[in-house]
Amino acid sequence: MTFSLYTRRGLTVAALALGGLTLAASKQGGEMDQPRAKSDFPKGFRWGTATSAYQIEGAVQEDGRGPSIWDTFCRLPGKIRDGSNGDVADDHYHLYKEDVALMKALGASTYRFSIAWPRLFPEGRGMPNPKGLAFYDRLVDELLQAGVEPFATLYHWDLPQALQDRGGWESRDTAQALADYAGYVAAKLGDRVGHFFTLNEIKTFVELGYGAGVFAPGLTLPKGRLNQVRHHAVLAHGLAVQAVRAHGRPGLKVGMAEDITAALSDLDTLKNIRAAELATRELNAPYLTVMLEGRYTDAYLAAAGADAPRFTANDLKVISTPVDFVGINVYAPGAYVRASDAPSGFTTIPLPVSYPHMQSSWLKFGPSTLYWAPRQVANLWKPKEIYITENGTSSADRPGPDGAVYDLDRVMFLREYLGNLRRATSEGVPVRGYFLWSLLDNFEWNEGYSSRFGIVNVDYKTQKRTPKLSAAFYRKVVADNALA
């Protein structure tokens, strides 16, 4: 629960954990221990961690929460790798005070969490459930008391089952239902929550939930219906932006938290850099691009042909309602490309099979993605502000015989990715903050509990929290606002 775990270890780790490396080291006097030049992040840069409701809260039947599509999906045989579900998860619903204390110990100034729609509206719409809201009241107050600024995501994939029963994202009504719920939240929490994210990773829940069938609700829709789902989800984003503004206090900020597919160039010549930017715009056509440009690209519509989504000019205006910031989740390179004479202007280069990845095979190791992705967003769409709403890695880390978790692969990952983020901010890319995914080991969707993304280990039998080495690493970065 505290970082004292590390103080029982040798001096080096103790000093790291306490953020006192410089002090402790100078007493030792060794050459290598001298303070090194800092590479600073901008003043006021916001450091935080991120989580989502279904992945950590548990308490799925408490205080009037209604079922979500993930409660249903987890019960389908073979869908979740370890046969688990989010019934208990990290029991954060009851242990949230302990978790806020962990954030405080990290020195993080912000926290990104999601609100469970089915807690507030068990049926998706209609009568609100005050007990559900009360939990987020308590959480927000606890955060503020700890000096941690709350950033709230409105939708992190836990659609009320009642709405899925009426067509889910295949129904245009779901977009309006999300907006109604968003307006309610902004009215109730907007006095204390200054930043809202509409939907987390539309791309992921649409492609995997309605296309590939491996996420809830487990559908494999044909192309035309899938395109319509994509359209309804981005429409929900635009309507939610408007609803949050209409019901929240003036000055409150709202934007998306989207899974950007960022193309990198194979060799960074000016021509290839430009081609990679074009590729990123095209690869995100039905998501970030339409949200920020208010039109589907010609190539997207041409490729869809008769299966193109049905939409009105007004839909496009709503979808592209101006946002206060662009939030991007950045994990892995989306593609490698180079310039070509093809009409698109780029050609994709396949990865060699030996290309390295982290514990999750999809998590290709590409630290420069955290330089190029925000830079491309800045060049393509000129947002006022950018947030890295998620970045982090899985690891097969386990407590050792001494009880400590030495997740050196995660520390390596974070150091290299953050070095690239530092490059972006130093060049003036307007990134205002970074949210590390994740504070805690948690329910990793179709991977269940077999994949751990936390900088704090959770023993799922006892709910004991143990900060890992990466927590000590992150604590020092936050304290210094710099990489050593």
Residues labelled catalytic: 201, 390
Distance between CA 325 and CA 323 in Å, rounded? 5
Q: Is the peptide bond before 286 cis (omega within 30 degrees of 0)?
A: no
Between 300 and 435, name the residue whose CB sits nearer to ligand GBH.
435
* Minimum distance of ligand GBH from residue 29's CB (angstroms): 43
Between 99 and 259, name the residue whose CB sits nearer to ligand GBH.
259
Contact footprint for ligand GBH (CB under 6 A)? 52, 200-201, 204, 208, 214, 259, 329, 331, 362, 390, 437, 444, 453
Q: For residue 483, list its beta bridge partners.
A: 39
* Minimum distance of ligand GBH from residue 14's CB (angstroms): 31
Q: For residue 285, list its beta bridge partners.
A: none
Q: Choose among 277, 206, 215: nearest CA to 444.
A: 215
Structure tokens at 364: 């290709």
Distance between CA 261 and CA 350 in Å, rounded? 15
Distance between CA 76 and CA 222 in Å, rounded? 22
* Minimum distance of ligand GBH from residue 141's CB (angstroms): 25
Residue closest to ligand GBH, measured at CB: 362
Between 331 and 365, name the residue whose CB sits nearer to ligand GBH.
331
Q: How long is the chain?
A: 484
Contact 291, 284 (CB under 8 A): no
* Minimum distance of ligand GBH from residue 208's CB (angstroms): 6
Q: For residue 440, list its beta bridge partners.
A: 456
Distance between CA 16 and CA 469 in Å, rounded? 9
Distance between CA 45 and CA 480 in Å, rounded? 11
* Minimum distance of ligand GBH from residue 427's CB (angstroms): 26
Alpha-carbon dihedral 389, 395, 399, 405, rounded to 10 degrees? -60
Between 136 and 437, name the residue whose CB sits nearer to ligand GBH.
437
Between 6 and 93, name the residue whose CB sits nearer to ligand GBH.
93
Q: For residue 338, list its beta bridge partners.
A: 347
